Amino acid sequence: MLKNLKDIEKQLTKLSSFAVAFSGGVDSSFLLAVAKKVNPEKLLAITVSSQFVPKREIESAKRIASSIGVEHICLNVDILENEDVARNTTQRCYYCKKQLFSLIRQTAENLGISTLLHAVNLDDLKDFRPGLKASKELGFLSPLADAEFTKSDIRRLSKELDLETWDKPSQSCLATRIPYNIKIKYEPLVMVDKAEVFLQNLGFAQVRVRCHGKSARIEVAPELVETIFNKEIRQKISIAFIKIGFEHTSIDIDGYKTGKMNSQIFTGKP
């Protein structure tokens, strides 16, 4: 059954005031826009900036919140100071979300808002997401998942609302580019970010650069795998990645698939 705006509006109209954990991605932008539409007494978007989030995404979140017309607060945290996060075990996401969402909760409560929302969708529940446990422990509501909205539902309805994010490529924090149990340091995150920006500028919108020490493994949308094997493109990538700091670069012939780095949890293989 196709979901429609009334399904989520009905849920949100029950709430008088709330804060949204806002990344500026497809899901949180949709949730924020619908929240604005139902005109609550008080609405706040809260973004947390850390080493795991590219600066361009933070700037984009600020701009999108402004375009929707919602008050926006951006908080800063040094997430690598959290040793439970930096150790990068399979529970990294739990410890990270616990710290970030605790900060969001405290900020919202200081402003008189006790109801907190995050934009997890039905598809997210099918992947390995230990951060969802942290959000539940901290009392965050998930109206999109509760209403059984999938990513495709959200994209379709975002287009109806004329949101610029309707076709935005899926995003995830830079930490997901580092294999589990490899301690996360700042330098590899910077290298990954630079490499992904380079590939995006070449026209590969949906891209991941997985970092294995000084080796990079590139994932692009499956329909563009053949394109990236073009000799001229490969040479450009090779030169650029060496300058960034990678000694070896490979291309994943299967292309990008969300949650791919979690496969080692189920298979035991990197």
Q: State pLDDT tens for residues 206-228.
A: 999 999 999 999 999 999 999 99
Length of the chain, please? 270
Phi, psi of 264 (to 5 degrees): -65, -25
In the sheet with 42-49, reading across from the earlier edge strand, the strands are: 71-76, 42-49, 17-21, 116-117, 140-141
Q: State pLDDT tens for residues 65-112.
A: 999 999 999 999 999 999 999 999 999 999 999 999 999 999 999 999
CA atoms of 223 and 132, how far apart (whole Å): 31
Among the residue ranges 108-117, 119-128, 179-188, 254-263, the one predicted with the least confidence is 254-263
Which residues, at least 6 apart from 98, have a Cβ–Cβ distance to it below 8 Å? 134, 137, 138
Using alpha carbons, select from 35, 58, 63, 60 the residue that is nearest to residue 47.
58
Residue 260: the pLDDT is 63
In the sheet with 215-220, reading across from the earlier edge strand, the strands are: 207-212, 215-220, 248-251
Using alpha carbons, select from 51, 98, 49 the residue that is nearest to residue 73.
49
Residue 107: the pLDDT is 98
Could you give all domains of the chain from N- to C-terminal order, each with its CATH number? 5-167 (3.40.50.620), 174-267 (3.30.70.2210)
Q: Mean pLDDT throughout 180-191? A: 98
Q: State pLDDT tens for residues 15-53.
A: 889 999 999 999 999 999 999 999 889 999 999 999 999
Share of the chain above pLDDT 90, in %: 87
CA atoms of 134 and 118, how far apart (whole Å): 12
Residue 265: the pLDDT is 54
What is this structure's pTM?
A: 0.92
- Planar angle of CA 81, 219, 233, nearest 5 degrees: 120
- 161 to each of 35, 179, 199, how far by Cα in Å? 12, 37, 30
Q: Are 20 and 28 in contact (CB under 8 A)?
A: yes
The residues that bridge with 248 in the sheet, in sequence order, are 215
What is the DSSP pairing of strand 42-49 with strand 17-21? parallel
Q: State pLDDT tens for residues 243-266.
A: 999 999 999 999 998 766 665 554
State the angle between helix axes of 55-68 and 26-37 in degrees (0 to 180), rounded to the nearest 10: 20
CA atoms of 170 and 260, how far apart (whole Å): 13
Using alpha carbons, select from 202, 221, 204, 210 the residue that is nearest to residue 248.
210
Alpha-carbon radius of gyration of the chain = 19
Token pair for 187: 């330098």
Using alpha carbons, select from 55, 53, 35 the residue that is nearest to residue 44.
35
Using alpha carbons, select from 86, 84, 6 the residue that is nearest to residue 38.
6
Question: Looking at residue 179, what DSSP letter applies?
Answer: -
Does residue 3 have a pLDDT over 80?
Answer: no
Residue 266: the pLDDT is 47
